[in-house]
Amino acid sequence: MAAKALDARALAALAANPGCRRRAILDGAGVDKASLAGALGSPSVFGQSQFAFTRGNAFEARVKADGGAELLRLVHEKLDRGAEPPAGAQVPDLSATGPEGRAARTSLALREATGSPGTWTLLDHPMLALDVAGSPAFLEPDAVVVHPDGGWTVVEIKSFPMLDGSADPAKVGAAARQAAVYVLALERVAARLDPAPRVRHRVLLVCPKDFSNLPTASAVDVRKQRAVTERQLARLTRIEEIADALPEGVCFSPELPAEELTAAVEAVPATYAPECLSACELAFHCRARSREDGAVTSLGRPVRAELGGLATVEDVLAAAHGEAGDPNDPAVAALRRAARLRTEALTTASSRTGRTTNTGTGTATDAGLSTATDAGVSAATAAEPGETTTDAGISRATPTRANRTTNAGTGETTDTRTSTATAAEPGETSADAGASRPTRTEASRATDTSTGGATDVWGGAATAGGPGGTIGAGRSGSVGGSGVSGCR
C-alpha cells in the first residue's frame, strides 16, 4: 500500500496530542489511518461532509472575488492599519506541474513580492514544503498575503460562522493549530532568503458573519500552537526510537487478519483523549480500549491532570474508599474528602425524606408506604365512610372496595383476599374462641348489609350481628346501629 502524505490537518492533530506514540509512528510511516480503523472494526466518521465542502468552496470564492479586494481589506483592517489601503494588489500565477513544481513557484513568487516594497501581494493557494521525519510534506494554505513592508501573513478561511464577533472555541483552536503549521512552513521558506522577511505570528481567520454569507475576520495569535507543532515535529524526526521498541516484523497493513492487525496496533501505546474524536481516524478504537482498561484519560485531560499518579478508575475508587493510596497525596486526600461529603449528603437526604416514626409505638416506618405498624400487627387504618372504628389501641386493616364482595341473598360481605368471613344472622351468638368457624385474618373486616353491623377482628374470629348480637373470642359486646360498646 502506498504511503499517505502528511497534510496540515494531520500535523495539527499531532500538535493537539503530542504524547501519542501510536499516532506519531503511524503518521511517520504514512499509514492510511482511515483504512486501518475500518479493518480494526471501528470505522471512522472523521472528516467533512460534501455539503460542508461545497459551502466552504462557495464562501472562499466570494472572499477572493475581484482580485481578493475584500480579503485584502480585512487584512488591512485587522492586522496592518498603518499601511496604505490596498487599492490594487498583485496576484501572481502559481500554477506548475506537480507539488514540487508548485512549491518552487511559490518560493519564487514570495521572493519577488518581498523585493517589491510598498505593494500588496496575494498568493492564492500557494504550495509550501515542510520536512517531516526526513521526507517533505506539501501544504496548501488558503492564502498568503505579503504586506507593503515585506511581512508575510497566513490567511485561513473557514465556513463556520462568527456569531456576534465570536466563534466556536473548539473550531477556532483547530483552525489555529492548522494555521500554525503553515506559519512554520513559511518560516522555512523565509530562512532561505537574505535578508529573511518577517513571518507574522498573528494569522487572519475569515468566517461568515452571523448566519449570512458575508465575510468577517479576526486576528488569531498562533505562537503557542507553532511552538507545540515545532516540538512535535522535532520528536517525529526521532521516530526510530519508537520503531526500535516494537516487536520484530510488526506490520500495520489493513489487509492483515483482524487479530494480527489488532496485536500490531496495540503494540504501540496510545494516549487517548476526548479531543481525539475530532482529529484522529483511530479515535473510536482507542476510546474502546481506554474504557476497557479503565484509564482515566478517557475522562479528559483536566481530570487526568487532577488525579496525579492515579491512572485507572479502579485506583481512583480504591483511594476514595481508603483502601489504597498515600493519605498525604493531595489527590487521594481530595478524593476521600469528596467521598465523605457524598456519604453525609445521602444520609441527610434519607433522614429527611426516607422514614418517619410512630410516636405511639416508636416503630419507624417508610413514609413512602401506606402501612403503619402498631404493636407488631401490620394494618392499614383508613376506614371507609359509614364504618364504625374500633378501639383506639388496636391497629386494623380495612380492605379496599375492590376486595370486598356482598352476597345479595344473605347480606354477607366477604373479603376476597383471605378466607371466607361469616357474618352472624340477627340474634345469633358467635362461637367461642375455641370454636371451629370460618374466620378472617387481622387485616379483614365484614359488614352485614342487612343490619348495618360492623365487625372488628379480635383474637382470630370475626362475627357480626344485628341488635343484641354478642362477640366472643376474647371480648364481648353488643353491636347496634347507635355504636359499639363492650368490655375486655
Model pLDDT, residue 140: 94
pLDDT tens, residue order, the chain (488 aa):
556 777 888 888 777 777 788 988 888 788 888 889 999 988 877 666 778 788 889 999 999 999 899 999 999 999 999 888 888 789 999 999 999 999 999 999 999 999 888 899 999 999 999 987 667 889 999 999 999 999 999 999 999 999 988 999 989 998 999 999 999 999 999 999 988 999 999 999 999 999 888 999 999 999 999 998 888 777 765 677 788 888 888 888 888 998 999 999 999 988 888 888 878 889 999 999 998 888 888 888 788 778 877 888 888 888 888 888 888 888 888 888 998 898 889 998 888 875 544 444 444 444 444 333 333 333 334 444 444 433 433 334 334 444 454 454 555 555 544 333 344 444 444 334 333 344 343 343 444 443 444 444 333 333 334 443 433 333 333 333 334 333 33
Alpha-carbon Rg of the chain, whole angstroms? 42
Asked if 106 and 128 touch (Cβ cutoff 8 Å), the reply is: yes
pTM above 0.85? Answer: no
Model pLDDT, residue 411: 53
Instruction: Give the count of beta carbons closer than 10 Å to the beta carbon of residue 212.
Output: 9
Model pLDDT, residue 293: 87
The strand pairing partners of 347, in sequence order, are none
Residue type, 249: G
The three cell numbers locating residue 126: 500557494
Q: What angle do CA 453, 454, 458 make, to 5 degrees?
A: 130
Instruction: Give the count of beta carbons closer than 10 Å to the beta carbon of residue 419.
Output: 13
